[in-house]
Amino acid sequence: MRVITFGTFDVFHVGHVNILERARALGDELYVGVSSDKLNYSKKGRPPIYSEHDRIRIIDALSCVDFVFLEESLEQKPDYIQQYHADILVMGDDWQGQFDELSDLCQIKYLPRTPSISTTEIIEVVRHIEPEEE
């Protein structure tokens, strides 16, 4: 069974590795669509901290990931699912219900997010660290 999932995976953290490992455990192969810089900008109104090149490089280095590609738009999910012959689409439950219309193409599973961690929170924490006085 081939599993497919999508994400920005900016400032890679433990919530990202948790969902990727759980997605991989649902099948035999994991394909990951990494959101392009342009898509991220259109969704979040800011550029990602890490470039799409570096985010792809990080995801590709993980032992639970078999194949990585660039996700250019949210609406192309049906095309990616068909192009890569995916059997199961996995998304975090922040996307609960949003891809149910794709259930005639493959199984859809929403997995619970890891609590208390997000790229946005990490950026906020780092932004507010005061440099130590010498």
Residues lying near ligand C2G in the complex (CB under 6 A): 6-10, 15-16, 19, 35, 71, 74, 91-92, 94, 113-114, 117-118
Two structure tokens written together for 125: 């924490």
Name the 3-class secondary structure at 32: strand
CB of 8 to ligand C2G, least distance (A): 4
In terms of CB distance, is 19 or 106 closer to ligand C2G? Answer: 19
Whichever of 7 and 27 has its CB closer to ligand C2G, that residue is 7
* E strand or H helix at 91: strand 88-92
Residue from 11, 57, 55 nearest 36 by CA: 55
Residue 127 C-beta: closest distance to ligand C2G, Å: 18
Nearest residue (CB) to ligand C2G, 56 versus 91: 91
Contact 9, 34 (CB under 8 A): yes
Return the DSSP state at 10. -
Q: Please give the Cα distance from 26 to 11 (Å, whole number).
A: 25
Least CB distance to ligand C2G at residue 134 (A): 36
Closer by beta carbon to ligand C2G, 58 or else 87: 58
Overall residue count recorded for the chain in this entry: 134
* CB-closest chain residue to ligand C2G: 92
* Least CB distance to ligand C2G at residue 1 (A): 18
